Amino acid sequence: MPLPGNPLKALNSYLIEGPERSLLIDTGFNQEECRTALFDGLKSLGASLDQTDIFITHLHADHCGLVSAVATDKNVVYCSEVDARRINWGLSPEYWPENLSFVASYGFPLREFGAALLKHPGQKYSPDTEHDFSIVREGDILEVGDYRFTIVETPGHTPGHICLYEPDKKMLISGDHILGNISPNITMFYKGLPDPLGQYLRSLDKIDRMEIGLVLPGHRQVIGDVHKRIAELKHHYENRLNEVLTVLGDEIMSAYQVAAGITWDLSYTSWEQFPLEQMWFATGEAISHLEHLRQQDKVRRLECTGNYLFERVK
């Protein structure tokens, strides 16, 4: 499904077909291009929405944005409790201003950018209305045709991220927990997990202990060797943590300043060229790395009139 203007480029939405009911995994943004691609895809597969239940891997709008468009009174939409609550909370008028003030306490220059920040795709392309989700938890089973999926909770990318594991077929539907040639955005949001990167790394270890031959991720190509990919991802985050320490050096810096100082694998040539929403993502990512380093006693967080600054522990 195309994600126009977004560096992720496209979302992989999957349909697991069963004789009576099918299961649709993730929906795309609440945006015309996604809506057309989703409905064309479902039509070409002969799927009727009344006989198709929906599984949402996590709260991000590229995965749940079209929930209101695909939910009928004859299907159910599965989601984790934590992310379901956040999807609905995201529709309240306080949600985005509160998120903005959270990121501002980490140095994001709110006053300078102001209302332009409401370009965040999570805000623009979220579902139209609240939804009464069917809550699934670790170990719950979803049966679709010959498939018997187990719910695997994998917090980190979001607090309530979930995957689907098919033990007989050794298949994992991984959402954004494990992606092919890109690393999942591990960010810290208002009232999020205290150490999302630590949680994410533990969730990687959890998947690493499972027998998996095929991963169907939320973006980019399918993955054959998941254990190799997990090792690469762990190596990537280790390098990023070291880079954050190098950028900090002997200075006292905000997370926003750290974000501006580290390297990003995006097509912009300088930090100043980053669109505001990408600066926001980058700052969230810097926060998650700094907070993880704080858990490891490698950095110290200083609080000054409600704002946070970081320095290395010598």
Report in angstroms how near the CB of residue 159 gets to Zn ion at its nearest: 12
Nearer residue to Zn ion within complex by CB, 83 or 176: 176
Report in angstroms how near the CB of residue 184 gets to Zn ion at its nearest: 7
Residue nearest to Zn ion as judged by C-beta position: 60
How many residues touch Zn ion under the rule CB under 5 A: the total is 2
Q: How many CA atoms lie within 13 A of 32 on its CB side?
A: 0
- The answer to whether 309 touches 252, Cβ cutoff 8 Å, is yes
- What residues between 8 and 47 interact with Zn ion by CB under 5 A? none
Q: Is 96 helix (H, G, I), strand (E, B) or coil?
A: helix
Neighbours of 187 (CB within 10 A): 21
Report in angstroms how near the CB of residue 63 gets to Zn ion at its nearest: 6
Under rule CB under 5 A, residue 60 binds Zn ion = yes
Nearer residue to Zn ion within complex by CB, 72 or 123: 123
Q: Is 105 helix (H, G, I), strand (E, B) or coil?
A: coil
* Cα–Cα dist 91/229, whole Å: 35
- What residues between 176 and 205 interact with Zn ion by CB under 5 A? 176
Report in angstroms how near the CB of residue 160 gets to Zn ion at its nearest: 12
Under rule CB under 5 A, residue 277 binds Zn ion = no
Look at residues 76, 140, 123, 109 and name the one whose alpha carbon lies nearest to residue 254.
Answer: 109
Name the segment binding Zn ion (CB under 5 A); options: 139-147, 174-182, 223-231, 302-310: 174-182
| Strand 52-55 versus strand 77-79 pairing type | parallel
> Where along the sequence are the contacts to Zn ion (CB under 5 A)?
60, 176
